[in-house]
Amino acid sequence: MKVYPNLIVPGFPKSGTSSLYYYLDQHPDINGIYGKEPHIFSKPERYSRWQEVCQKGFDLEDSYQYRLDASTTYMISREAPSRIAETAPQCKIIILARDPIERVFSHYNWLWCLGRIENSFEKEIRYWDDRAFDPSCHDRGNYKYYVEFSRYGRQFQRYVDTFSRDRILYLTTEELKENADRVLDRCFNFLELPQLGNVDKGRRNVTKTNDVTRYPGFMMRLRTFLPDALVNIFPRNRVRSWFTETYEPQTFGPEEERLVFQLLEPDLRLQNNLGILSDRWTTTRKYL
């Protein structure tokens, strides 16, 4: 049986894509691919064997109207729209976008709290802004193209150039947070599916304070040579506490907002021309 995704949620990191995927996947007519983000259409090695990936990831029962793939690299990837169109020409697309400046802050904080960032905010943002998206360049599955992920204009343009506009539903994260039921009603109407009551609307992938443990390399090497009796002299929790650091989300002010705005400004004009610059994006709107 040949299966392929015909409902694509090509969102942006830290914009609610995981939550929306989880909500939609609860509908009996929608089958979400196992793992949520297979990146089939953005990673060449996966696109070359997309049928195999789909066979393993989807429920092969034929009762579903939609097969759902929500991968956050599908907007930033130049190749993804054409690959999607070639594989699933009749697919429907739901795009969920967050205030572009706030999204950059949340993206940075997510990786900061995972202990994946050592640079200051400005240095980190500028360093990655000079680099073109490469699907193979990630940190344990996490991408760091902070500002590029918020250039919704050029990315949305690729989709409207590839698909008819009536096959794209454009939503904002702010709408989803304000009234998830209303957003889901719009999604199911767009998909021509019956409404679904009693959806579990718990949020997914929320940024929060995190304890990160890093053991020095010499300790890991030494451990292989020491007998357990010697190692167990020191309580494991105490040793762990010596090398554990707590990371809390950072707060950002006007200086950081202006920096991100300056980097995004040309694309924000395009977003405005495309009609996707939301009035709900209060942080970005302050600088327009």
DSSP string, 68-103: EE--TTTTT-SSHHHHHHHH-TT-EEEEEE--HHHH
Q: If DSSP codes are grouped into helix, strand and coil, which group holds residue 255?
A: helix
Contact present, 135 and 80 (Cβ < 8 Å): no
Query: What is the three-class DSSP state of 186?
Result: helix
CATH topology of domain 7-205+250-285: Rossmann fold (3.40.50)
pLDDT of residue 198: 84
Nearest to 43 by CA among 136, 131, 145: 136
Residue 205 has which token pair?
């992938």
Per-residue pLDDT of 57-66, as tens digits, reads: 999 988 899 9
Average pLDDT over residues 253-275: 98
Q: What is the pLDDT of residues 93-128, one digit of tens each?
A: 999 999 999 999 999 999 999 999 989 999 999 999
Side-chain-facing half-sphere of 61: CA atoms under 13 Å: 9
Closest C-alpha to 170, from 18, 62, 60, 20: 20
Q: Which pLDDT score is estimated for 36?
A: 80
Cross-strand partners of 7: 68, 92
Predicted confidence (pLDDT) at residue 238 exceeds the cutoff of 90 = no
Give the whole-angstrom CA distance, residue 138 versus residue 122. 20
Q: Round to whole Å and give the CA distance between 74 and 38.
A: 10
> What single letter denotes the amino acid at residue 141?
G
The 3-state DSSP composition of the chain as helix, strand, coil percent (nearest 5) reads 45, 10, 45
Q: Residue 211: pLDDT band by 50, 70, 90 thresholds? A: confident
H or E stretch covering 245: strand 244-247
pLDDT of residue 30: 97
Helix or strand (DSSP H, E) at 240: helix 236-242
Q: Where are the domains of the chain?
A: 7-205+250-285, 210-247
